[in-house]
Chain A
């Protein structure tokens, strides 16, 4: 009888210990997960700062380009093929406000792409798309365990240098 009580007590004690250890481990893991999440989040915020600065810089460059009417020239300070299509656009629709807006859009996209892609900001999977509205997306990877990724996408609103974040999602690749 006494032996039975001892065995039961030991069994309960071990069960309680296992539960407590599992609980402690869960707490640790949850803490690690939050740490990793905010580390990725911090990196994405850093990139957001870079993008915001680049948008402002590109806007200034575009204004300077448009003010100096470089689109009238065959030879501007931007890539030849883009300068050529800008020039062609101007030749076709010269004087129209829409043409000027389209040219400004092309120039802005060129400066923004150059600013973000050619300078080493450490972007991963950076995608910049033009067209009706400009969209920028990139992915941040968790360097500590390589399991989590954070995808960020933003869309320029078209009003000055404004943008809105359309995606800020962390996911597990495995």
Chain B
């Protein structure tokens, strides 16, 4: 019986090398998908934060008096984002006829600030 000089099949070394290469590529692809997942989550949080901040800003803008703002609550929304809203009176632009407030809306997710929106509102002291 004659042995072939080029037998069909793989040697153990070839198999080990190919399995290692396959594992490496699989690990890379997996990492890529995990990265995508994280990026998607971050983008989703950001977009929710932007919309929440804009929503709060619009709510303040349609208010007729600063007192109405004092009574409002913007603490948390159902998506787990925490909203911090600050309104400060700007003396230079306020008078006996009306008050100008600078508005700062900050959206926090997992104790990290994800978005900040600055605006302003002038309330007339209509008699």
Contact = CB atoms under 8 A, between A and B. Distances in A.
Interface of A: 2, 6, 9-10, 12-14, 16-17, 19-21, 23-24, 26-28, 30-31, 34-35, 38-39, 41-43, 45-46, 48-50, 52-53, 56, 161-162
Interface in B74-127: 93-95, 97-98, 100, 102-103, 115, 117-122, 124, 126
B36 A46 contact: no
B32 A16 contact: yes
Interface string B24-53: 011011001101100110110011011001
A31 B121 CA distance: 20
A2 B10 CA distance: 15
A69 B5 CA distance: 123
A2 B22 contact: yes
Contacts of B120: 41-43, 45-46
Nearest to B26: A9
Contact of A19 (B36, B42, B126): B36
A34 B47 contact: no
6 contacts: A12-B29, A20-B35, A27-B43, A35-B117, A41-B119, A53-B95
Contacts, number: 101
Count chain A CB atoms within 10 A of each CB in B32, B61, B94, B126 and give the residue with the most: B32
Count chain B CB atoms within 10 A of each CB in A23, A26, A38 and give the residue with the most: A38
A52 B119 contact: no
User: What's the dominant secondary structure at chain B's contact region?
Assistant: helix
Contact of B46 (A20, A24, A45, A56): A24
Contacts of A24: 39, 42-43, 46
A13 B30 CA distance: 8
A55 to B, nearest CB: 8
Nearest to B116: A35
Contacts of B95: 53, 56
Contact of A21 (B22, B39, B57, B115): B39
Given A17-B35, A42-B118, 7 more contacts: A10-B25, A14-B32, A17-B32, A20-B39, A31-B46, A31-B115, A50-B93
